[in-house]
């Protein structure tokens, strides 16, 4: 009887009873307890981030999953043992009730270990093997959860659809199914559908802990859906439940943030928040409390009070760095709307330094920070160069007296700094002082504190900038170990903040370095001002949509420099701006100036024919297609067809950068089919006709090669050892290895300039964070955009950047690279390049001097 009872091949009463009993209360039970222990450990170690949507299922992170490997492996081991020793699968039917549970246990254990592929295999097996058992519904639900974690939303939806059509789904599992579907829709970003599933889960579940969590998440979803009244309603419901204090606190704060100005509840909420600000147990939450108070002040249209509360929020942060970043960019938004762009830029910069890249406002903050950083830089360049030009017009005696007065002021300030540092309270004294402040409450009272006294703060800020320039705002700036204690930041010629040591600041000769004294230096300063004004107007117009400020910048540029280097572009910008603002008279004035002073320009053609750009693009596309086919024919050796295509293109078209390429391709086809003398004459004819073509250098190389084949001796001095002065005269661009360089991208048909700039900025932060790089964009002719990255101090660094960005697959997502040119260019060459706006000549220069040289090295 004992042997018969142990058999798994016989389905008699003794065998079934024995294996059901021993598997359920021995190996399976041990495995189930091990997994339960691991799940409890995961849930206890899970830390909710209340700045984000809470997880429906708090199962920790990939790191915390490693901490429960032992428990999950034990669960898998015991469940596998139960299957191996006790399964009675006879003629396709299982007679031991815990075997299907054992398979599910193995699948769940793999899920908690984040071995999702193995989990999928096990849940799929349960569904197929136990088609008539209710456990298949557990398999389906865990299959959805696993596919959700893998972001396989199509597979998850297929399973959801199948279950929705299932008429025999057990009612006792409806709460779990609703939660599973809510988790799926949240992670897919379909909040409206997720909301409906959470409502169903709340109604169906009997678990109080889950009901409270689902209610909080439901309130968050309404908040995401901009339904503030419903969000406040469900946050209030959370407060009526027995929830952890951190959830209760965040529910109170979020309910306050949801309240509207006309709700009649703001006064009561303010009293509640102020009371919370005096409770010591909320010390780590003061930043959230004062942020909420700032939000209420904004709803009551008290913007100055809101700024005070938000600044206290920043100062109160102890742990929640994300909240500090949010407070920073909220302050920045307020200054942006004033508009006080320099202060806004500083606060956006502070926010971006600590804001998580996956935060929903990251793109907004990074976009504005990028635009304002460029705008502020150009404002600084104008202010700096204007000041330097004034100094340049002073006599030596006047200049020396002024500099000495500045040095004396700095010397006094340095002595005062050393005195304050020597008498600075100890760390313990500072801590005691902070504790005393906190015990009295952190709320602002009137304008008695210096940093809340607008007049005093404004005066101090201006005086500081006049003496020290603009300094970066950052924490712990008074620490002795920080290098900035004996360094001041000044603005350099590029508008960048540049450090200067105390010894430099006390040396009168330090201040004379950038002062323009010669006519050439003054001309250079005036060009920098013109460039900055044009950039300023472009940023106002294209990035900030500030049309009036753009008009002011462009008009001032023309007023100050009536014969400036940007006249044509500025005329066209003002023409478009006045058209956009409905001032047809002024728009026509600038259109007439373009037609009168620049009749052959691209802009003149656009004004005469609004469809000119469309026609030009069609022309270029036809030419490109013809050249592409001819080039393919050349590679296939069909030279006669190449010559025919070139003749057709050169006859039909009179304009187009590609015509010179077509002509050279024809000459090369002649070289492949005719005698050397014919090839030589064709090359000589090409060189004499296309004197400015970028392909001319290649034609000259081919001509020298042909002459060598014909027996002519080619002296070395023809191609080498040019005197430097002669080379500078003959070559428009000059190669300077040690010069500052820019990376440049010229593109046509670029629809999302801001998006591309943002991706380039992210690329810079990820791979070139040690470099101080900035990205700008300019209009390049009528139909192209020019983006450039500046900050490379030498050729090698610029080439490293060029090679890296070309290899990146994400930066140029959505950009047609066939319509772009990318290269690096020195600062001096960039000025010439932008003035002429001819891409092919420089690209040829770039290939010869940078790409080929890089290969040689």
Is residue 255 scored above 60 in pLDDT?
yes
If one compares 7 and 236, the residue with the highest pLDDT of the two is: 236
Is residue 776 scored above 90 in pLDDT?
no
Is residue 325 scored above 60 in pLDDT?
yes
The whole-number average pLDDT for the span 63-75 is 89
The rounded percent of the chain whose pLDDT value lies above 90 is 33
Length of the chain: 857
Lowest average pLDDT, out of 18-22, 84-88, 104-108, 389-393, goes to 18-22
Provide the sign of the torsion angle of the four alpha carbons 603, 605, 607, 610, taken in this order: negative
- CA-nearest of 764, 749, 849, 774 to 804 is 764
Long-range CB pairs of 348-351, under 8 A, 24+ apart, other chains included: 348/372, 349/373, 349/472, 349/473, 350/473, 350/474, 351/325, 351/326
Q: Tell me what pLDDT residue 438 has.
A: 45
Is residue 405 scored above 60 in pLDDT?
yes
The whole-number average pLDDT for the span 93-122 is 86
Q: Tell me what pLDDT residue 430 has.
A: 55
Rounded alpha-carbon distances, angstroms, from residue 495 to 1, 150, 420, 737, 832:
95, 47, 31, 23, 21
How are beta strands 784-792 and 820-826 bridged, if at all? Answer: unpaired
pLDDT, tens digit, 9 for 90 and up, residues 632-658:
888 778 888 889 888 888 877 766 567
Q: Tell me what pLDDT residue 674 has.
A: 87
Distance CA 244, CA 222 (A): 22
Side-chain-side CA neighbours of residue 855 (13 Å): 6
3-class DSSP state for residue 817? helix
Q: Tell me what pLDDT residue 442 has.
A: 44
If one compares 714 and 308, the residue with the highest pLDDT of the two is: 308
Q: Tell me what pLDDT residue 441 has.
A: 45
Is residue 249 scored above 80 in pLDDT?
yes
CA dihedral 515, 521, 527, 530 (to 10 degrees): 30
The whole-number average pLDDT for the span 802-810 is 81
Distance CA 49, CA 322 (A): 10
Q: Which residues share a beta bridge with 785?
A: 747, 779
Distance CA 205, CA 186 (A): 19
Do residues 557 and 533 touch, judged by C-beta distance below 8 A?
Answer: yes
Q: Tell me what pLDDT residue 294 has.
A: 93
The rounded percent of the chain whose pLDDT value lies above 70 is 81
Residue 449: pLDDT band by 50, 70, 90 thresholds?
Answer: very low
Do residues 659 and 653 touch, judged by C-beta distance below 8 A?
Answer: yes
DSSP 741: E
Q: Tell me what pLDDT residue 187 has.
A: 93
Rounded alpha-carbon distances, angstroms, from residue 681 to 447, 646, 662, 827:
86, 17, 17, 39
Q: Tell me what pLDDT residue 422 has.
A: 79
CA-based Rg of the chain, rounded to a whole angstrom? Answer: 36
The whole-number average pLDDT for the span 513-538 is 91
Q: Tell me what pLDDT residue 17 has.
A: 59
Residue 239: pLDDT band by 50, 70, 90 thresholds?
Answer: very high
Is residue 10 scored above 70 in pLDDT?
no
Is residue 506 scored above 90 in pLDDT?
no
Distance CA 646, CA 638 (A): 13
> Helical H runs in 423-560?
427-439, 454-468, 502-505, 519-538, 547-560
The whole-number average pLDDT for the span 298-312 is 92
Is residue 499 scored above 70 in pLDDT?
no
Helix (H) or strand (E) holding 635: helix 612-635
Buried b vs exposed e over 838-851: b needs ≥16 C-beta within 10 Å? ebbbbbbbbeebbe
Q: Tell me what pLDDT residue 712 has.
A: 67
The whole-number average pLDDT for the span 120-138 is 91
Lowest average pLDDT, out of 85-89, 454-458, 792-796, goes to 454-458
pLDDT, tens digit, 9 for 90 and up, residues 196-221:
999 999 999 999 999 999 999 999 99
Contacting residues for 1 by C-beta, under 8 A, at least 6 apart: 14
pLDDT, tens digit, 9 for 90 and up, residues 352-389:
999 988 888 888 898 888 888 888 889 889 988 998 99
Q: Is 128 exposed, middle or buried (0-12, 13-18, 19+ CB in 10 A)?
A: exposed
Q: Tell me what pLDDT residue 736 has.
A: 86
Lowest average pLDDT, out of 4-8, 350-354, 715-719, goes to 715-719
Q: Tell me what pLDDT residue 188 has.
A: 92
Q: Tell me what pLDDT residue 600 has.
A: 87
3-class DSSP state for residue 562? coil
Mind giving me the DSSP string for 579-628? HHTT-HHHHHHHHHHHHHH-TTSHHHHHHH-TTHHHHHHHHHHHHHHHHH
Q: Tell me what pLDDT residue 797 has.
A: 87
pLDDT, tens digit, 9 for 90 and up, residues 13-49:
555 555 555 655 567 788 889 989 999 998 888 888 8
Q: Tell me what pLDDT residue 544 has.
A: 83
Q: Tell me what pLDDT residue 20 has.
A: 59
Lowest average pLDDT, out of 296-310, 447-461, 580-594, 750-764, goes to 447-461
Contacting residues for 575 by C-beta, under 8 A, at least 6 apart: 587, 590, 591, 594, 607
Mind giving me the DSSP string for 661-688? HHHHHHHHHHHHHS-HHHHHHHHHHHHH
808 phi and psi angles, rounded to 5 deg? -75, 140
Is residue 418 scored above 70 in pLDDT?
yes
Q: Tell me what pLDDT residue 3 has.
A: 47
């Amino acid at each position: 009887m004992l042997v018969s009872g142990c058999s798994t091949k016989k389905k008699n009463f003794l065998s079934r009873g024995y294996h059901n009993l021993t598997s359920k209360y021995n190996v399976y039970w041990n495995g189930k307890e091990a997994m339960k222990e691991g799940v409890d450990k995961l849930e206890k170690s899970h830390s909710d981030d209340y700045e984000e949507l809470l997880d429906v299922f708090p199962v920790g992170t990939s790191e915390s999953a490693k901490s429960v490997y032992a428990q999950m492996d034990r669960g898998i081991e015991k469940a596998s043992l139960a299957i191996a020793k006790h399964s009675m699968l006879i003629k396709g039917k299982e007679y031991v009730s815990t075997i299907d549970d054992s398979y599910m246990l193995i699948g769940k254990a793999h899920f908690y270990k984040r071995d999702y592929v193995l989990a999928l295999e096990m849940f799929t097996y349960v569904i197929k093997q136990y088609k008539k058992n209710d456990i298949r519904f557990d398999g389906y639900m865990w299959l959805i959860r696993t596919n959700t974690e893998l972001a396989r939303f199509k597979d998850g939806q297929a399973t959801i659809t199948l279950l929705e059509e299932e008429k025999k789904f057990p009612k006792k599992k409806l709460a779990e199914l609703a939660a599973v579907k809510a988790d799926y829709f949240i992670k897919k970003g379909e909040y409206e559908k997720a909301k409906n599933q959470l409502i169903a889960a709340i109604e169906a579940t009997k678990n109080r802990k889950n009901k409270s969590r689902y209610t909080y998440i439901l309130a968050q979803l309404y908040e995401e859906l901009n339904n503030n009244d419903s969000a406040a309603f469900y946050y209030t419901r959370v407060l009526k439940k027995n929830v952890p204090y951190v959830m209760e606190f965040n529910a109170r704060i979020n309910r306050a943030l949801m309240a509207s100005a006309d709700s009649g509840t703001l006064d009561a909420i303010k009293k509640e928040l102020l009371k919370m600000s005096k409770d010591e147990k909320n010390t780590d939450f003061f930043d959230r409390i004062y942020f909420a108070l700032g939000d209420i002040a904004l709803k009551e249209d008290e913007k100055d009070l809101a700024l005070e509360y938000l600044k206290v929020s920043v100062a109160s942060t102890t742990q929640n760095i994300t909240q500090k970043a949010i407070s920073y960019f909220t302050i920045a938004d307020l200054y942006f709307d004033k508009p006080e762009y320099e202060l806004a830029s500083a606060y956006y910069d502070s926010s971006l330094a600590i804001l998580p890249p996956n935060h929903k406002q990251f793109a907004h903050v990074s976009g504005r920070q990028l635009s304002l950083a460029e705008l502020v830089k150009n404002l600084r360049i104008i202010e700096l160069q204007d000041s330097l030009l004034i100094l340049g017009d002073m006599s030596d005696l006047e200049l020396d007296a002024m500099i000495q007065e500045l040095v004396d002021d700095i010397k006094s300030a340095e002595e005062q700094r050393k005195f304050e540092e020597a008498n600075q309270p100890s760390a313990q004294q500072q801590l005691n002082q902070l504790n005393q402040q906190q015990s009295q409450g952190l709320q602002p009272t009137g304008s008695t504190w210096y940093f809340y006294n607008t007049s005093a703060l404004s005066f101090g800020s201006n005086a500081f900038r006049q003496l020290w320039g603009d300094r970066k705002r950052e924490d712990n700036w008074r620490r002795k170990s920080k290098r900035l204690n004996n360094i001041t930041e000044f603005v350099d010629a590029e508008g960048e903040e540049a450090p200067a040591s105390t010894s430099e600041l006390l040396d009168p000769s330090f201040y004379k370095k950038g002062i323009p004294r010669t006519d050439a230096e003054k001309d250079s300063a005036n060009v920098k001002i013109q460039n900055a004004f044009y950039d300023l107007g472009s940023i106002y117009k294209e990035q900030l949509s500030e049309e009036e400020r753009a008009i002011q910048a462009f008009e001032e540029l023309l007023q100050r420099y009536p014969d400036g280097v940007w006249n044509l572009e500025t005329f066209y910008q003002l023409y478009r701006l006045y058209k956009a603002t409905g001032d047809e008279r002024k728009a026509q004035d600038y259109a007439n100036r373009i037609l009168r002073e620049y009749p052959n320009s691209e802009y003149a053609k656009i004004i005469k024919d609004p469809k000119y750009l469309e026609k030009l693009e069609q022309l270029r596309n036809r030419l490109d297609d013809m050249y592409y086919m001819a080039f393919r024919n050349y590679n296939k050796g069909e030279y006669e067809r190449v010559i025919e295509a070139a003749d057709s293109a050169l006859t039909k078209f009179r304009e187009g950068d590609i015509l010179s390429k077509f002509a050279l391709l024809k000459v090369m086809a002649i070289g492949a089919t005719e005698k050397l003398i014919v090839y030589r004459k064709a090359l000589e004819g090409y060189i004499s006709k296309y004197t400015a073509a970028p392909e001319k250098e290649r034609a000259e190389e081919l001509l020298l090669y042909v002459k060598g084949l014909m027996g002519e001796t080619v002296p070395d001095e023809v191609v080498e050892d040019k005197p430097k002065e002669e080379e500078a005269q003959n070559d428009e661009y000059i190669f300077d290895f040690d010069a500052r360089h820019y990376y440049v991208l010229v593109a046509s048909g670029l629809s999302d300039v801001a998006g591309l700039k943002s991706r380039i900025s992210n690329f810079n932060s990820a791979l070139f964070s040690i470099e101080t790089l900035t990205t700008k964009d300019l209009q390049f002719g009528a139909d192209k955009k020019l983006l450039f990255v500046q900050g490379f101090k030498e050729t090698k660094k610029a080439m490293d950047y060029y090679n890296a960005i070309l290899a990146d697959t994400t930066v140029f997502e959505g950009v047609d690279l066939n319509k772009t040119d990318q290269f690096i260019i020195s600062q001096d060459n960039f000025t010439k390049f932008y003035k002429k706006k001819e891409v092919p000549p420089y690209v040829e220069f770039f290939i010869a001097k940078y790409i080929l040289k890089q290969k040689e090295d």
